[in-house]
């Protein structure tokens, strides 16, 4: 095998440092050890940066949550402006507070378990749980009945695409025989 003469190389091909032929080397690996202190310092700096980043993100998200709560409160109060009193008779003393109560009751129902009608065994479940059930099992196929809809038509599904019964007026006229 021929030796490469570094003086013949030009441009990017010129090796960095001093060229030593492989037969002149005493060792065929680097003799320097890993700088443990440098690795630990860099690891500490990265962990510190991550901690500071998470702290800043939590501050920003807390600010956004407080702004969203204020906007929700303002959004309901805009519906019931205090500048213009409603026409008589005034049946509600504080309509914005009552609206907040109605919204809170609706949210509580959407986030809880309970009976709609215990006699008919009809219940409601939290909306997050219903979404996870649908994501896990998928929507039922059209026309397939399950334990909750044992009778045909009990799910009130629209009958789209079924052929209509022919009416007597629409029956084709028979052709006279020649």
**Rounded Cα distance, 61 and 161, in Å:** 50
Residue 64 has pLDDT above 90, yes or no: yes
Q: Radius of gyration over alpha carbons of the chain, in Å?
A: 39
102-140 per-position pLDDT tens digit: 999 989 888 899 888 888 888 889 988 888 988 888 876
Residue 83 has pLDDT above 70, yes or no: no
33-56 per-position pLDDT tens digit: 788 899 999 999 999 999 999 999
pTM: predicted TM-score of the whole model, two decimal places: 0.30
Residue that the structure tokens 């005493």 belong to: 26
Give Cα separations from 5 to 15, 75, 105 (angstroms).
11, 80, 86
Band of the pLDDT at 178, cuts 50, 70, 90?
low
- Would the CA dihedral through 54, 55, 58, 59 be positive or negative? negative
């Amino acid at each position: 095998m021929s030796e490469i003469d570094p003086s013949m190389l030009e441009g990017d091909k010129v090796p960095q440092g001093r060229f030593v032929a492989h037969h002149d080397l005493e060792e065929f690996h680097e003799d320097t050890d890993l700088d443990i202190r440098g690795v630990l310092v860099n690891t500490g700096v990265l962990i510190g940066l991550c901690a500071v980043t998470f702290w800043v993100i939590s501050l920003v998200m807390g600010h956004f949550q407080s702004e969203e709560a204020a906007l929700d409160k303002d959004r309901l109060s805009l519906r019931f402006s205090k500048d213009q009193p409603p026409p008589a008779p005034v049946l509600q003393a504080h309509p914005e507070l009552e609206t907040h109560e109605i919204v809170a009751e609706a949210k509580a129902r959407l986030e809880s378990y309970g009976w709609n009608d215990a006699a008919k065994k009809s219940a409601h479940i939290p909306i997050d749980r219903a979404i996870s059930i649908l994501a896990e099992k998928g929507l039922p196929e059209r026309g397939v009945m399950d334990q909750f809809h044992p009778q045909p038509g009990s799910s009130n599904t629209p009958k789209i695409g079924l052929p209509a019964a022919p009416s007597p007026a629409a029956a084709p006229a028979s052709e006279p025989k020649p």
